[in-house]
Amino acid sequence: MLTPLAEKVQHLERLGVEQLVLLPFDEALASLTPQEFVEKILVQQLQVRRVSVGQNFRFGKCRTGTTEDLKAIALNTRLRSALSHFTLPQANESVVRRFATPSKTAIPVK
């Protein structure tokens, strides 16, 4: 037997969930690729900062996205955002090889 929505909401509140977003599962949502779902729904519309997922979590069209995909897409999205706003410290937090601005030190030519 499935738990009624009102009961699920009460249970989540007792667990400390402060905000719950319910998306209508329609054809438009079902057709989003994992990349599109993260960028359009999580980043642009919801502006999430953290996501908690359960065991065997899958997302995107035909459930093709995995937890590892979510991490990779989120990292790439965060990196692109940081670079588009010219915030090197944020970008550097996301990568192994550090980005740097070109040196402004003049090298004399002999």
pLDDT tens for 48-102 read 878 888 888 999 999 999 999 988 888 887 766 655 655 556 555 555 444 444 5
Provide the 3-class DSSP secondary structure of residue 59: strand
Domain-located, residue 31: yes
pLDDT at 95: 54
**Total domains present in the chain:** 1
- C-alpha torsion 31→34→35→39, nearest 10: 80
Q: Residue 90: what residue type? A: Q
Domain that includes residue 75, residue range: 23-49+60-95
Residue 3: inside a domain: no
Q: Which residues pair with 59 in a beta bridge?
A: 65
Residue 10 lies in a domain: no
Q: What percent of the chain has pLDDT over 90?
A: 34
Q: Establish if 100 belongs to a structural domain.
A: no
Structural domain includes residue 110: no
Position 32 confidence tier, pLDDT thresholds 50, 70, 90: very high
* Domain assignment of residue 103, yes or no: no
pLDDT at 88: 57
CA 98 to CA 92: how far, in whole Å?
Answer: 5
Inside any domain, residue 64:
yes
Q: What pLDDT, on the 0 to 100 scale, is given for residue 9?
A: 92
The predicted pLDDT at position 77 comes to 76
Residue 18 lies in a domain: no
- Identity of the residue numbered 83: L
